[in-house]
């Protein structure tokens, strides 16, 4: 996540091209991702379980969102788990980060436990009913499919590429979410700085109307 996000309230997360798929039955060996977000086992070149390193990266993201700086500035910091805990961190937040930044991945909090942590659910009556977001079926928005096909994205069969969970799948579902936000906040078109971008708010506005979706918003305190 670049720390210099734009002024219209959109958090941009990048590097989907450096991601990897995994199986629960085997460990991964590919060293991928960005150094500041990498878990110790990645830096040590060890075999690793995908969700464990993702939890570490989520911790880095969370810390960066609150502090505005990375917790670890070098590989040595990461390997030694050396990071500064500001005095304004609440006890639940400290506990959450400590359970995330565990050098031994076996002792690291799991995704499911993380979503049930008191700090994550502060202000809500109960934890989320599911971890993974509900994605709209491919083909539901025929107008969007046809629009993406015109962008020459390099996919012979866009629908199949989306179902295979390629980068086309990520782009399709993120664009659907972007359209949903645009339908609720039409003024975003006027704040767009890159009208020539085919996935900009200005360009996507031609696809409206688009069905609205309800989003759960969490305020960091």
pLDDT value of residue 25: 80
pLDDT value of residue 130: 62
Among residues 11, 10, 9, 217, the alpha carbon closest in space to that of 122 is found at 217
Give the CA distances from residue 212 to residues 9, 67, 162, 164, in Å, rounded to whole numbers and listed in that order: 19, 32, 22, 26
Q: What is the pTM of this model?
A: 0.59
pLDDT value of residue 214: 40
Domains of the chain in sequence order:
16-114 (1.10.510.10), 142-207 (no CATH)
Q: What is the mean pLDDT of each run of 10 residues along the chain (221 residues)?
A: 55 59 80 84 91 93 92 94 94 96 95 90 78 58 77 75 73 77 69 57 62 39 30
pLDDT value of residue 188: 62
Report CA torsion sign: 101, 104, 105, 108. Answer: negative
pLDDT value of residue 102: 96
Among residues 27, 19, 83, the alpha carbon closest in space to that of 54 is found at 19
Distance CA 119, CA 96 (A): 7
Place of tokens 């990071």: 83
pLDDT value of residue 212: 42
What are the residues whose beta carbons fall under 8 Å from the beta carbon of 99, sequence distance 6 or more?
108, 109, 113, 114, 117
Tell me, rounded to whole angstroms, the distance of Cα 10 from its chain centroid: 12
């Amino acid at each position: 996540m670049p720390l210099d996000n734009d002024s219209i309230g959109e958090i941009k997360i990048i590097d989907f091209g450096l991601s990897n798929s995994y199986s629960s039955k085997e460990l991964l060996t590919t060293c991928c991702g960005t150094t500041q977000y990498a878990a110790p086992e990645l830096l040590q070149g060890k075999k690793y379980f995908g969700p464990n390193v993702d939890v570490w990266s989520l911790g880095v993201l969370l810390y960066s969102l609150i502090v505005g700086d990375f917790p670890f500035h070098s590989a040595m910091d990461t390997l030694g788990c050396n990071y500064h805990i500001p005095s304004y961190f609440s006890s639940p937040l400290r506990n959450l980060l400590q359970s995330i930044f565990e050098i031994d991945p076996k002792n690291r909090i799991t995704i499911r436990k993380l979503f049930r942590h008191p700090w994550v659910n502060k202000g809500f009556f109960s934890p989320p009913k599911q971890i993974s977001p509900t994605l709209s079926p491919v083909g539901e928005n025929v107008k969007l499919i046809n629009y993406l096909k015109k962008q020459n994205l390099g996919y012979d069969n866009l629908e199949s590429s989306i179902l295979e969970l390629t980068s086309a799948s990520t782009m399709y579902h993120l664009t659907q979410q972007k359209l949903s936000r645009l339908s609720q906040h039409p003024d975003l078109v006027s704040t767009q700085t890159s009208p020539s971008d085919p996935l900009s708010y200005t360009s996507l506005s031609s696809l409206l109307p688009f069905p609205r979706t309800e989003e759960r918003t969490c305020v960091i305190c």
